[in-house]
């Protein structure tokens, strides 16, 4: 019986297993001179293999694996495939950048896959221990990845900051876990939910949730727990930033979903107000800070803070267990931000270091196509129609208005207008100014095709959004 | 074909616009392509006009697809008479602009044309969307091409102007979105027809009215939300200014008549006095501001604001008219006046901007103080300029007179003071238009340019056709008046029924 | 009599002390690592207390995992600190503020 | 009938368009001939119409050519209303226009923009016809503005002259002031009857209860509406204080001064009041107002003419003064009398202007009378015509001016109210003044010695200039004899107004014995002494008279008033642009708020110090705050 259970679980868990094994293989391959140049291909191959094999084992019903410590259902698979997609784009785009920065190595890709794996585990976890391990697996890999560029001043600084603060956050989450465990006597999240549904919400339970969600807020970089994000964005190598900006967000969304789904805490006034307040505060802080930024990555970071605020508001608005709004927001935001950072990665090179927004001056005259891609992406982040970002913001506003929180909707909206300014500033530098560094290398047909994937889908999904909506609404309600 | 004519009108220019991005860079082909597409769209709109049955108040050529069922958003298109007229205005102006553009030499011609083609399609979308969110999407997406047109091909201070334009309008429109969402949350529909049927309490209506009215007031623009327009006009390239003045401002006016007045009439009624006052301020005060402008484009921009003040005046006095007479007839006349003013101003301001643009092309200055006596050097041009300046001050026989007359007429029925202030425009508009003419056209020539600078064939053709339209509309307004009468009656009924 | 709440207060205090250690310490990064360790220990205490009082072994299992992870974290933390030290020959936290704004 | 009526304006419009758009290949002379013949055809048609009207019994032709606007509740047509009143006006307008066309072929032949000129006058005639024919207020207004437009264009005909373009702007703007009130009057009338149509309005006049209507500024509704309409007429017919544009409008070519600024356009105001007579019948305040305005215009503007030295401006002021007479007649509801003076004035004033034009042309565009003199022998035909014109204007017995002016004075006297008596006195003095300035002009220009220096080249112009003069001279002499027609002229649908008139002979007798003759004689002697014999009278150096002279020479500072107000407008505009539009809206709100946000954001940015312990502290601090708040709330 146990054996059967384990084999069954393993079969359902085979993509992760493949990723795990392959990361070891890649690590090994990196040590051999002759195989070193193939690590990139191996990585791509293994991710594709994992995702393709995973398709075989897709099923519509939910499975509990490994003694119900992991869950596999539509939701987890949906987000995992989004992650695969994002991850593939990231590694394909980052190759050139890594080569020029001498960062290509077995351990890099191995660690990256570990980070991905950690996020997958967070997505699937149904058990506090597994969850904790997932968080730590991804964080530990990311600490080392950030610091990977050992010669860089800023990388190390970013790494130490991220390291310390992230551990504080983990500890806060753990502290919350410990209370949760103490109250419910179980570390199984489904059991905890069951317990909460059957018993009245005690103060301790509320505290534990507050602690956990402060941790989540940290991971999402919701103000006032956002300080690490701009520094990491600026300090870390761009491919890592790209990863941090997107995949952990998705993972932690599923984390939040797991904790809130069917849980009466969501109707608790204090808790929901906390989430709402954090969201609002984050939108304020994010937009206001982003306004004054001169460095493009810091600007994107603060825009990330503002968007995290939106995600929290979306979580808040998840009345009647409707997490689809937040899910859509997270997905759309992650995808667009990956597109933005990928384009910046693509433009950056050793010869031309794209640090300031100024550096984008006149990009359109050098390469109009890339400028348009970046424009579409930024407009999507700003939530202008014709892009998927519009629906994301639309849904959040709709939810707020539905809950009759008009004033909050108006405030949120006014802050978006503030936010619009800094996106437009990038666009104006690209299109309206002249003087782009001519050394920039904008060739590379394949990369450009990959880069256009996301903007194209941003536009296409805008035109035909219903499939996505339907699917997300279906799996999350 | 006829069933999907609206979709064709919208998507043909948009898709061609995207295609032109990838087109060969040879300008002559681009010109032909661009004019051809715009011409086809123009023909389509004529076709629309011919097939439109103006005796029915219903929306026609309806296309209704359940676009996003999960959000209850429909791809719901349809036109009534005012939409048809505005679409026609739109296609004519874009055709003219495309012809005018072919005389210019620009950087990145294909991008320029693409922006205009896309703007063309989006504007038509605005005018025929009957689903609030669809409307909103077109409304807002329209900002992007205009933003790029001003920002990329504009003048020295283009960045400031374009950003201001974008953010200001965005600020307004996002309030509009919230209003739509609010309406949806209580009636679960974005359909215009259900909007008309919705009943809100007075306080709700007031708030909804404020939010939506600010959105459209920024777009029109009404005093005191007007300051983006002069900047945008001054910095925009000529064709951009033309589109901005002739089309974009009308979008705001259209929004009022489609989404504000019939939806929240009670709210509008309870605070209409503020908007009447603002309209009157726009007419008188902004007109006075226009007098001392030294930049021709700025002057025309302020005069546009002043003229749009008439439009909003015509919209908002209807409630007082209703109080005074409670007959639908007067309301219809007032709205007709506003609509006429919208269309007429579209042509007149377009022509004026083309005139100013061509002067700028030749003399590289828009400053009135730098110019004088153009009549000596470019007589044909100058006479067109004089004609349109006169049309701008509402000379009878030109289209501007009709709208102003009807609005002054209705304003009088509402209150003598309104009519008195509104008719002040007769003096003020004459002062700024003709003083401009006096300084720029008449007198001795200032510059040393000796070559023949008179209008070339294309410009003559454009200006002549615009002049012809202005005269025809002024001499025989009945066609358009009767054309939109039934629709306006229907709208008025929708308003009255809720009062 | 020492009740569960005493333990809980104790661990909460421990947590607070360790957090305070992080932001009060402005000299050496190594102290940070210690504080972090302490923080995780505070959590461990909590788990053990709950595990003990609810007669459930899972809490203690959790503690083992946390300890293991904490060890790994310390290792990585030290590695980062080493690389930091190599670049700038100092471990003062005061000097680490190139990323700001 | 309709086709004839349609043809009259169409021919004129066609003339305007053909000449205006014709290419350079069309010879100047031929284009003039084409234009003139088209106007002539219109004139013939209008005479046919006049004959038809008079041969039938009080028939009125009324219809719409087409619907200008025809929607539910609003019907405005472009059409015609031809009765005796308007048919006479039609003929007058077209006749003067024809004469001026002919004259202009000669007068303008050296001008480069010859065709533009003909296009304009054809357009002017068209607009005037539109105004005269109109059967509703809107068409009236369209024509009204149309003539104003052409007047604007023609005053600025010599667009390089800065005085000309100043004058045309001024003319248009002052007319616009009038138009503003005029259109308000129109909409007031409209909202009373819900119609612009004369017939509908007049037929419903009885059913409107006037006492129930709102009052404005203490005036009853119809009074106020009529007042507004009259302010429009004041601008167009150059009454105090809106007369300032007319003297300046003499910057235009002289034929234009004859056609537009003497005979036709400026009388549009008179025509309008006559057309709307049924309303003016109902007013009291407004007619008194009209009377005062008219009488003071007649007197005070005439005074200015005495001291004016520009030949055209003298005639212009005399025009204003004569318009004052017409307006005064309107002020006592004597519309037909006013119209009679309009009729005769059209001929003799056009004559005077054309004569002046001939003089100016002969003197190579010298308009200053101080440089003229002794032209009697050199320009005999012009002199004769000018003499006839002068006799008419001073009301010399048996000339046309005698009949019409005397009629005005007489009906004024018969009115027997205080105001009308005052007005009578003013008009009588005005008659004296008229005699003085007319004869002064005559004496200075044609008698004495030539003061312009170079003498030899002064001679009569070609026949094409002289024939119109003679034609007009004949009509000026004779047109007064159809006084009966005007005495019997019915005001639209209101029958014939009772005017004291018992046959021609009695009238002439009476007229010669009236005080007006006294003024004639007195004026003749004064003018002769002062200007022919150039005597200097010591009593004229009297302080009081010198002061008055000074005041008159300033033209009562009306020009300065308008200059000042335009200056104020300009300054206001600059002030509000900078202070309100840029200063407050733009700098405080539109740019101010973003700037504030931006600087706030920059301050905020500094708070992010980059120190790890600050970050940690802020996390902990937030944690504590959150917990504190939640604790307070739950406990």
For an interface test with C, which of A174, A177, A180 has the most C Cβ atoms less than 10 Å from its Cβ? A174
Alpha-carbon distances of B127 from B135, B195, D120, rounded to whole Å: 8, 17, 41
Q: Each residue of A332-370: pLDDT tens digit? A: 999 999 999 999 988 886 566 788 888 888 888 878 888
Which residues in chain D have Cβ-Cβ distances shorter than 8 Å to C81? none
Domain that holds residue A404: 268-477
CA D540 from chain centre, in angstroms, equals 35
A201: which DSSP letter? Answer: P
- pLDDT at residue A54, rounded to an integer: 87
Determine the distance in angstroms separating the CA of B383 from the nearest CA of chain D, rounded to an integer: 11
Count: domains in chain A: 1
Instruction: Name the residue among B399, B407, B487 with its Cα closest to residue B127.
Output: B487
Q: List the subunits that have 3+ CB pairs under 8 angstroms with A.
A: B, C, D
**Angle ∠(A80,A86,A87) on CA atoms, nearest 5:** 85
Pick the CATH number of C4-95 from 2.40.420.20, 3.40.50.300, 3.30.43.10, 1.10.287.3510: 1.10.287.3510
Which residues in chain D have Cβ-Cβ distances shorter than 8 Å to A160? 612
State ipTM: 0.91
Determine the distance in angstroms separating the CA of D609 from the nearest CA of chain C, rounded to an integer: 6
- pLDDT at residue A349, rounded to an integer: 67
Q: Is residue A310 part of a domain?
A: yes
CB-CB contact of A343 with A370 (8 Å):
yes
Mean pLDDT of D259-272: 86
| C14 interfacial to chain A (CB closer than 8 Å) | no
CA distance D572 to A110: 74
CB-CB contact of A309 with A286 (8 Å):
yes
CB-CB contact of D402 with D350 (8 Å):
no
Count: domains in chain D: 1
- pLDDT at residue B46, rounded to an integer: 93
Backbone dihedral region of D14: left (phi > 0), alpha (psi from -120 to 50 degrees) or beta? Answer: alpha
- pLDDT at residue A442, rounded to an integer: 62
| D608 interfacial to chain C (CB closer than 8 Å) | yes
Domain that holds residue B448: 5-498
- pLDDT at residue B72, rounded to an integer: 87
Which tokens go with A61?
């019903």
Q: Each residue of A18-34: pLDDT tens digit? A: 999 999 999 999 888 88
Query: What percent of chain D stands above pLDDT 70?
Result: 97
DSSP string for B377-421 = H-HHHHHHHHHHHHHHTT-BTBHHHHHHHHHHHHHHHH-HHHHHH
The overall average pLDDT reported for chain D is 86
Terminal C-alpha separation, chain C: 52
Count: domains in chain B: 1
CA distance C82 to B190: 61
Mean pLDDT of A389-399: 91
DSSP string for A94-125 = HHHHHHHTT---HHHHHHHHHHHHHHHHHHHB
- pLDDT at residue D368, rounded to an integer: 83
Measured between CA atoms, the residue of chain D closest to residue A287 is D601
Which tokens go with D86?
């308007």
pLDDT of D65 above 60: yes
CA distance B7 to B12: 8
CB-CB contact of D109 with D29 (8 Å):
yes
Q: Which of A129, A136, A156 sits opposite C80 (nearest CB)?
A: A156
Measured between CA atoms, the residue of chain D closest to residue B321 is D191
Q: Which of A387-391, D57-61, D535-539 shows the highest mean pLDDT?
A: A387-391
Angle separating helix axes B399-414 and D162-193, nearest 10 degrees: 50
Q: Is residue A414 part of a domain?
A: yes
For an interface test with D, which of B430, B480, B486 has the most D Cβ atoms less than 10 Å from its Cβ? B430
Domain that holds residue D523: 284-492+514-553
Instruction: Name the residue among A120, A116, A107, A127 with its Cα closest to residue A66.
Output: A127
Backbone dihedral region of B242: left (phi > 0), alpha (psi from -120 to 50 degrees) or beta? Answer: alpha
Which tokens go with D52?
């038809």
Which residues in chain D have Cβ-Cβ distances shorter than 8 Å to C36? none
More confident position, D38 or D371:
D38
CB atoms A144 and C29 under 8 Å:
no
Spell out, as residue ranges, where chain B has pLDDT lower than 50: none
Q: Each residue of D487-523: pLDDT tens digit? A: 777 776 555 666 777 777 888 888 888 888 888 888 8
Phi, psi of B497, rounded to the nearest 5 degrees: -60, -25
CB-CB contact of B200 with B264 (8 Å):
yes
CB-CB contact of D572 with B290 (8 Å):
no
pLDDT of D462 above 80: no
CB atoms C50 and A153 under 8 Å:
no
CB atoms D597 and A231 under 8 Å:
no
Long-range contacts: B100-104, Cβ < 8 Å, 24+? B100/B238, B100/B239, B100/B242, B100/B354, B100/B357, B100/B458, B100/B459, B100/B462, B101/B31, B101/B34, B101/B239, B102/B31, B102/B34, B102/B35, B102/B458, B103/B456, B103/B458, B103/B459, B104/B238, B104/B239, B104/B361
Determine the distance in angstroms separating the CA of B18 from the nearest CA of chain D, rounded to an integer: 34
- pLDDT at residue D516, rounded to an integer: 80
D67: which DSSP letter? Answer: E
- pLDDT at residue B450, rounded to an integer: 64
Which residues in chain D have Cβ-Cβ distances shorter than 8 Å to A302? none
D259: which DSSP letter? Answer: I
| pLDDT tens for the 101 residues of chain C, in order | 788 889 989 998 999 888 888 888 877 888 888 888 999 999 999 999 999 988 888 899 999 999 999 999 999 999 998 888 888 888 888 878 888 87
Which residues in chain B have Cβ-Cβ distances shorter than 8 Å to A413? 174-175, 177-178
- pLDDT at residue B20, rounded to an integer: 87
Instruction: Name the residue among D385, D435, D382 with its Cα closest to residue D405.
Output: D435
Query: Which sign, positive or negative, has the C-alpha torsion B282, B283, B288, B293?
Result: positive
CA distance D483 to B134: 74
* Residue contacts between B and D (CB atoms, under 8 Å): 136
Instruction: Name the residue among B236, B351, B252, B356 with its Cα closest to residue B305.
Output: B252
| A401 interfacial to chain B (CB closer than 8 Å) | yes
Which tokens go with A244?
């941090």
CB atoms D605 and A293 under 8 Å:
yes
- pLDDT at residue B299, rounded to an integer: 93
Kindly indicate the confidence band of residue A438, based on its pLDDT and cuts at 50, 70 and 90: low
| A136 interfacial to chain C (CB closer than 8 Å) | yes
Q: Is residue A114 part of a domain?
A: no
| C87 interfacial to chain A (CB closer than 8 Å) | yes
Terminal C-alpha separation, chain D: 99
| A364 interfacial to chain B (CB closer than 8 Å) | yes
Q: How are the residues of chain B apportioned to helix, strand and coil, as percentages rounded to the nearest 5?
A: 75, 5, 20
Instruction: Name the residue among D523, D270, D512, D486 with its Cα closest to residue D402.
Output: D512
Domain boundaries, chain C: 4-95
Which tokens go with B445?
């020539």
How many CA within 13 A on the CB side of residue D423? 33
Determine the distance in angstroms separating the CA of A225 from the nearest CA of chain D, rounded to an integer: 6
| D627 interfacial to chain C (CB closer than 8 Å) | no
């Amino acid at each position: 019986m146990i054996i059967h259970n384990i084999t069954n679980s393993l079969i359902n868990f085979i993509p992760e297993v493949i990723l795990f094994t392959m990361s070891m293989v890649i690590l090994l391959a990196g040590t051999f001179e002759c195989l070193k140049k193939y690590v990139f291909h191996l990585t791509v191959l293994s991710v594709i293999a994992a995702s393709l094999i995973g398709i075989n084992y897709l099923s519509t019903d939910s499975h509990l694996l490994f003694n119900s410590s992991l869950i596999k259902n539509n939701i987890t698979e949906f987000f995992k495939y989004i992650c695969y997609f994002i991850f593939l784009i990231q590694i394909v785009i980052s190759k050139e950048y890594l080569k020029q920065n001498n960062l290509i190595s077995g351990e890099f890709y191995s660690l990256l896959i570990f980070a991905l794996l950690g996020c997958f585990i967070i997505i699937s976890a149904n058990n506090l221990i597994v969850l904790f391990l997932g968080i730590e697996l991804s964080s530990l890999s990311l600490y080392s990845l950030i610091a990977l560029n050992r010669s860089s001043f800023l990388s190390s600084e970013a790494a130490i900051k991220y390291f310390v603060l992230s551990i504080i956050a983990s500890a806060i989450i753990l502290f919350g876990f410990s209370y949760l465990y103490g109250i419910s006597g179980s570390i199984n999240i489904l059991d905890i939910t069951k317990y909460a549904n059957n018993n009245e919400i005690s103060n301790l339970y509320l505290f534990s949730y507050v602690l956990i969600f402060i941790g989540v807020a940290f991971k999402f970089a919701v103000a006032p727990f956002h300080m690490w994000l701009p520094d990491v964005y600026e300090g870390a190598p761009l491919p890592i930033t790209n990863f941090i900006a997107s995949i952990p967000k998705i993972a932690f969304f599923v984390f939040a979903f797991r904790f809130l789904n069917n849980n009466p805490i969501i109707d608790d006034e204090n808790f929901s107000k906390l989430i709402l307040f954090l969201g609002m505060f984050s939108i304020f802080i994010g937009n206001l800070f982003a306004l004054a930024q001169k460095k493009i990555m810091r600007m994107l970071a603060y825009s990330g803070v503002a968007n995290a605020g939106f995600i929290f508001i979306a979580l808040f608005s998840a009345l009647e267990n409707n997490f689809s709004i937040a899910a859509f927001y997270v997905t759309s935001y992650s995808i667009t931000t990956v597109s933005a950072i990928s384009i910046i990665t693509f433009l950056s090179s050793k010869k031309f270091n794209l640090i300031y927004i100024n550096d984008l001056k006149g990009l359109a005259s050098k390469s109009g196509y890339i400028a348009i891609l970046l424009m579409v992406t930024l407009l999507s982040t700003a939530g202008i129609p014709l892009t998927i970002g519009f629906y994301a913001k639309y849904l959040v506003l709709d939810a707020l208005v539905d809950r009759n929180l008009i004033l909050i909707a108006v405030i949120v909206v006014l802050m978006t207008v503030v936010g619009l300014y800094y996106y437009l500033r990038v666009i104006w530098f690209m299109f309206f100014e002249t003087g782009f560094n001519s050394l920039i290398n904008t060739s590379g047909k394949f990369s450009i095709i990959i880069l256009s994937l996301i903007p194209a889908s941003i536009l296409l999904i805008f035109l035909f959004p219903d499939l996505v909506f339907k699917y997300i609404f279906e799996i999350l309600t | 074909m006829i069933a999907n004519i609206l979709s064709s009108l919208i998507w043909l220019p948009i898709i061609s616009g995207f295609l032109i991005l990838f087109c060969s860079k040879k300008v002559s082909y681009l010109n032909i392509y661009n004019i051809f597409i715009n011409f086809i769209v123009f023909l389509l709109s004529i076709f629309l006009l011919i097939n439109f049955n103006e005796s029915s108040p219903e929306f026609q050529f309806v296309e209704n697809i359940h676009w996003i069922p999960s959000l209850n958003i429909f791809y719901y298109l349809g036109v009534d008479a005012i939409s048809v007229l505005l679409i026609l205005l739109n296609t004519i102006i874009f055709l003219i602009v495309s012809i005018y553009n072919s005389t210019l030499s620009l950087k990145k011609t294909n991008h320029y044309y693409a922006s205009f083609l896309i703007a063309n399609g989006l504007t038509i979308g605005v005018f025929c969307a009957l689903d609030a969110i669809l409307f909103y999407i077109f409304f807002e997406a329209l900002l992007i091409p205009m933003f790029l047109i001003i920002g990329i091909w504009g003048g020295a201070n283009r960045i400031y102007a374009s950003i201001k334009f974008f953010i200001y309008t965005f600020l307004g429109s996002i309030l509009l979105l919230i209003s739509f969402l609010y309406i949806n949350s209580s009636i679960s529909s974005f359909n215009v027809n259900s909007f008309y049927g919705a009943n809100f309490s007075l306080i709700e209506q007031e708030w909804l009215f404020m939010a939506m009215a600010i959105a459209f007031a920024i777009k029109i623009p009404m005093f005191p939300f007007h300051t983006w327009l002069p900047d945008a006009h001054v910095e925009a390239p000529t064709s951009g200014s033309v589109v901005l003045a002739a089309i974009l401002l009308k979008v705001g006016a259209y929004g009022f008549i489609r989404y504000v007045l019939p939806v929240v009439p009670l709210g509008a009624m309870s605070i209409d006095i503020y908007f009447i006052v603002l309209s009157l301020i726009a007419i008188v005060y902004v007109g006075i501001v226009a007098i001392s402008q030294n930049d021709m484009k700025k002057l025309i921009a302020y005069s546009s604001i002043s003229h749009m003040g008439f439009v909003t005046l015509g919209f908002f006095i209807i409630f007082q008219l209703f109080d005074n007479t409670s007959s639908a007839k007067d309301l219809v006349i007032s709205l007709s006046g506003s609509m006429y003013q919208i269309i007429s101003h579209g042509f007149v301001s377009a022509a004026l901007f083309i005139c100013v643009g061509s002067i700028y092309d030749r003399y590289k200055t828009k400053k009135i103080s730098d110019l004088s006596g153009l009549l000596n050097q470019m007589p044909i041009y100058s006479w067109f300029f004089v004609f349109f300046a006169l049309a701008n001050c509402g000379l009878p026989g030109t289209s501007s007179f009709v709208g102003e007359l009807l609005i002054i007429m209705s304003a009088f029925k509402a209150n003598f003071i309104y009519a008195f202030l509104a008719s002040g425009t007769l003096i003020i508009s004459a002062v700024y238009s003709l003083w401009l003419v006096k300084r720029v056209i008449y007198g001795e020539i200032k510059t040393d340019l000796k070559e023949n600078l008179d209008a070339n064939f294309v410009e003559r053709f454009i200006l002549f056709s615009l002049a012809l339209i202005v005269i025809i509309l002024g001499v025989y307004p009945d066609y358009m008046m009767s054309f939109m009468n039934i629709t306006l009656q229907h709208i008025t009924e929708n308003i009255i029924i809720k009062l | 009599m020492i009740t569960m709440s005493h333990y809980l207060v104790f661990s909460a205090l421990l947590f607070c002390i360790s957090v305070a250690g992080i932001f009060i310490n402005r000299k050496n990064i190594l102290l940070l690592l210690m504080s972090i360790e302490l923080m995780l220990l505070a959590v461990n205490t909590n788990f053990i207390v709950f595990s003990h009082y609810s007669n459930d072994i899972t809490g203690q299992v959790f503690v083992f995992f946390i300890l293991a992870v904490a060890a790994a974290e310390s290792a990585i933390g030290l590695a980062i600190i080493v690389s930091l030290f190599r670049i700038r020959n100092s471990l003062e936290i005061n000097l680490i503020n190139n990323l700001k704004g | 009938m309709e086709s004839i009526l349609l043809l009259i304006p169409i021919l004129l419009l066609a003339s305007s368009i053909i000449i205006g758009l014709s290419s350079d290949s069309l010879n100047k002379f031929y284009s003039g001939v084409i234009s003139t013949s088209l106007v002539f055809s219109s004139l013939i048609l209008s005479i046919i119409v006049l004959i038809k009207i008079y041969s039938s019994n009080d028939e009125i032709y009324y219809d719409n050519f087409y619907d200008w606007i025809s929607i539910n509740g609003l019907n405005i047509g472009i059409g015609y209303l031809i009765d005796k009143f308007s048919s006479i006006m039609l003929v007058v307008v077209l006749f003067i226009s024809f004469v001026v066309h002919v004259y202009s072929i000669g007068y303008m032949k050296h001008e480069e923009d010859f065709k533009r000129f003909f296009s304009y006058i054809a357009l002017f005639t068209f607009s005037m016809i539109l105004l005269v024919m109109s059967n509703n207020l809107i068409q009236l207004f369209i024509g009204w503005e149309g003539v104003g437009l052409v007047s604007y264009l023609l005053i600025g005909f010599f667009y390089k002259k800065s005085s000309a373009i100043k004058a045309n702007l001024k003319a248009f703007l002052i007319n616009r002031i009038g138009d503003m009130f005029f259109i308000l009057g129109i909409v007031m009338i409209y909202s009373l009857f819900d119609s612009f149509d004369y017939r509908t309005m007049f037929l419903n006049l009885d059913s409107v209860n006037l006492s129930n209507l709102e009052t404005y500024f203490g005036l009853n509704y119809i009074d106020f509406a009529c007042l507004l309409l009259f302010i429009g007429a004041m601008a167009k017919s150059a009454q105090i204080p809106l007369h300032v544009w007319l003297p300046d409008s003499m910057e235009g070519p002289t034929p234009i001064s004859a056609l537009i600024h003497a005979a036709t356009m400026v009388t549009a105001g008179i025509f309008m009041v006559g057309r709307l007579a049924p309303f003016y019948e109902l007013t009291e305040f407004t007619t008194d107002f009209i009377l005062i305005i008219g009488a003071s215009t007649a007197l005070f503007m005439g005074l200015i003419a005495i001291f004016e030295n520009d030949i055209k401006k003298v005639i212009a002021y005399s025009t204003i003064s004569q318009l004052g007479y017409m307006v005064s007649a309107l002020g006592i509801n004597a519309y037909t009398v006013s119209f009679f003076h309009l009729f005769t004035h059209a001929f003799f004033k056009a004559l005077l202007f054309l004569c002046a034009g001939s003089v100016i042309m002969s003197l190579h565009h010298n308009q200053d009378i101080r440089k003229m003199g002794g032209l009697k022998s050199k320009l005999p035909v012009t002199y004769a015509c000018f003499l006839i014109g002068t006799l008419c204007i001073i009301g010399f017995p048996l000339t046309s001016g005698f009949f019409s002016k005397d009629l005005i004075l007489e009906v004024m006297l018969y009115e027997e109210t205080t105001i009308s008596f005052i007005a009578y006195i003013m008009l009588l003095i005005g008659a004296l003044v008229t005699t003085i300035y007319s004869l002064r002009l005559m004496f200075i220009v044609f008698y004495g010695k030539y003061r312009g220096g170079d003498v030899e080249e002064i001679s009569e112009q070609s026949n094409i200039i002289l024939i119109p003069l003679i034609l007009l001279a004949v009509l000026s002499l004779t047109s007064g004899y159809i006084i009966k027609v005007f005495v019997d002229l019915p005001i639209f649908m209101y029958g014939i107004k009772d005017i004291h008139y018992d046959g021609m002979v009695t009238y002439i007798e009476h007229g010669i014995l009236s005080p007006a003759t006294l003024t004639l004689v007195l004026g003749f002697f004064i003018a002769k002494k002062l200007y022919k014999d150039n005597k200097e009278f010591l009593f004229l150096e009297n302080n009081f008279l010198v002061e008055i002279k000074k005041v008159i020479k300033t033209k009562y500072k009306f020009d300065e008033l308008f200059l000042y107000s335009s200056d104020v407008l300009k300054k206001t505009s600059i002030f509000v642009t900078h202070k309100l539009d840029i200063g407050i809206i733009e700098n405080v709100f539109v740019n101010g708020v973003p700037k504030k946000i931006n600087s706030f954001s920059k301050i905020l940015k500094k708070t992010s110090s980059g120190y790890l312990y600050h970050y940690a502290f802020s996390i902990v601090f937030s944690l504590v705050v959150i917990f504190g708040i939640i604790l307070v709330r739950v406990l």
